[in-house]
Amino acid sequence: MRDNFFKRIFVAVLAVTGCDAGSEIDEGERGGLLDSIGRPLGPVSRRIVEANRELEPGLRLLARVEVQPDELLQIYEPAPGELLISLAGAPVNGPRLKARALAGRSLPELWADAAGEAAMPAALAEVADALGDAPVVGPRADLPLAAALPDPSPAVAGYCDTAFFKHPESACEVGGGLERDYAVCVEQVTSASGWVDHAFKTRGTVCPNRGDVVLRLKTGGGGDGGWAVPQHTHNSVIYTNYSCTTDDPDIYDTHCRWVNVWVDAGGPRRFHFRMVADVE
């Protein structure tokens, strides 16, 4: 059963959405931007949602929850067998859904961590029932922090130049005991891109300190998404391809393919970028 599960599921976290899930959320938001359990979104979360509205139908948004002020969890199912979880925002005291707390969590456990006893939206509950106890977030230990910049951006020193470096999202490691076989980790750049073949786990993170950017992830299996990231907020995506763990060469060669993470920016925009991967 375990082998069959690994052969058919791709899980992405971030750092990564049947038909009616997006419209279901829209119905609840006509009186204002609410999350999936009816709570109004704070200003940072609202900016993130408004900037990424166009993604929701194609990626099939299942649910969103504001975990705490300025920390947003969004769950998508772009295709059967694929799950994409996006963690974004600029929480003042750091993310509540931290790396260690997420380790090995199933979808119901992740939902309970974020939404307490609130009921899952119907579309999300259907996916959770299909996944059962399977972990949707890989085992990650707390990641080492990156060193804070000695000279913040000459633009506007804010979250990305200060608080970002106090959080695990700034790390240039994969975590969870995995090897860092591939890494592109840069500060205050105007363009950045990374590409890796046969990656089991890939993490991409951006934090723009001058202007808004778009974090993009594309896979050889057809996954393709882009998330607008407002200035001085971070966005992280973790893509896990369980087909890379199989001993069957046909499955490995067919399904364990390349992953590309890059940032669409241009002009005077500057940002901090991470792409790290463990290759099987």
Please tell me the predicted confidence (pLDDT) of residue 219. Answer: 81
Q: Sorting pLDDT into bands at 50, 70 and 90, what band is 182?
A: very high
The Cα–Cα gap between 90 and 92 comes to 6
Average confidence (pLDDT) over 128-139:
73
Nearest Cα to Cα of residue 38 among 152, 143, 116, 131: 116
Please tell me the predicted confidence (pLDDT) of residue 3. Answer: 37
Average confidence (pLDDT) over 138-153:
52
13 contact partners, CB below 8 Å, separation of at least 6: 84, 85, 86, 87, 102, 136, 137, 138, 236, 237, 238, 239, 240
Alpha-carbon Rg of the chain, whole angstroms? 18
Question: How many Cα atoms sit within 13 Å of 122 on the Cβ side?
Answer: 8
Statement: residue 275 has pLDDT above 70: yes
Reduce the DSSP state of residue 84 to 3 states and report it. Answer: strand
The Cα–Cα gap between 68 and 43 comes to 12
Q: Sorting pLDDT into bands at 50, 70 and 90, what band is 224?
A: confident
